Copies of this chain bind each other. A is one copy, B any other.
């Protein structure tokens, strides 16, 4: 194989596919990026068998061929080359020579024959959603994913498509996040659980572009995202997701409107005192048109007062401040609506149209 690419093209491609390189594995090929040059295309692939990513980069093919190369050896070399054309050449034993200006680097590659290629997904119906929307909906829900220890499905993101609606749900046993978006067309119904890790990596490599679409395809066991010159394929999690609808309630006794920046600042300070170790709650004490936020720990204490608009009863309730913070940060609006029922019932942070709903269970204060 012999190819010529600019440093920039190579680096961009490697940054994309390396998200699917496995670090913790004894299988050498899972740590590799496969470079394939042929049919007028230079293709980079990585696949940890749960998640696979493939991207096509620009460049000239002088001799067609393929080679697998460990990402942790190859990427630093490409990163340190000059911003110029890089020639990558391999011999019959997969020894790789990387030449840039007068500098020549040698690395040991591996034959690509036994590389685990991406599963073939039949591209039936495609669901087209803008890159921006996909990236946004992932970032607005991924934080409340569970670790899957109790129930494997909780380590996934529940994605439901029905008519022209997409609903994304995550939950971790203490909180539920739900986001909805309108699609441009009416689609066949889908109900799948996508591993959180796959969507996390997808959101990192997706440009925040509102004009360009991601095409999504489903098979029985996989989901495929197709955008630009890149394909991301993830295995689906088998099983039935938890029915969250019966856990939701739209009743409330107290509704509060509060400035997002102010409450974020306050919750952030409370996290200096409420740490993982001590499990001290952030206490929210609502009286009249003031929300008092309090946190008391052996390290010290905080006491803060925010102006609010309130409807309904006064209430005092405690939370893990990190859970409140994650939800607050995911909201775009400058003013936030919070709905309370009683000190033992969940807090709901949601907008009027329920485009987003964040449910957070309280900590018992008594």
Give chain A's interface residues, CB within 8 Å of chain B: 73, 76-77, 80-82, 102-108, 265-266, 268-269, 272, 299-306
Contacts and interface: CB of A to CB of B under 8 A. Distances in A.
Given A102-B305, A266-B103, A268-B80, A73 B299 contact: yes
A302 to B, nearest CB: 5
Contacts of A300: 73, 77, 105-108
A272 B76 contact: yes
Nearest to A271: B80
Contacts of A302: 103-106
Nearest to A106: B301
A266 to B, nearest CB: 7
Contacts of A103: 266, 269, 302-305
A82 B301 contact: no
A299 B73 CA distance: 8
A105 B301 contact: yes
**Count of this chain's copies in the oligomeric assembly:** 2
A77 B272 contact: yes
Given A77-B269, A104-B303, A104-B304, 20 more contacts: A73-B299, A76-B272, A77-B272, A77-B300, A80-B268, A81-B269, A82-B265, A102-B304, A102-B305, A102-B306, A103-B269, A103-B302, A103-B303, A105-B269, A105-B302, A106-B300, A106-B301, A107-B299, A107-B300, A108-B300
Nearest to A103: B304
Contacts of A305: 102-103
Nearest to A299: B73
A103 B302 CA distance: 7
**What are the nearest 3 A-B pairs in CB distance?**
A107-B300, A103-B304, A102-B305
16 contacts: A73-B299, A77-B269, A77-B300, A80-B269, A102-B305, A102-B306, A103-B303, A103-B305, A104-B302, A104-B303, A105-B302, A105-B303, A106-B300, A106-B301, A106-B302, A107-B300
Contacts of A266: 103
Contacts of A105: 269, 300-303
Nearest to A107: B300
Nearest to A272: B76
B272 A80 contact: yes
A304 B102 CA distance: 6
Nearest to A266: B103
A272 B81 CA distance: 12
A268 B76 CA distance: 11
A218 B40 CA distance: 73
Contacts of A82: 265
Contacts of A299: 73, 107
Contacts of A265: 80, 82
Contacts of A303: 103-106
A302 B100 CA distance: 11
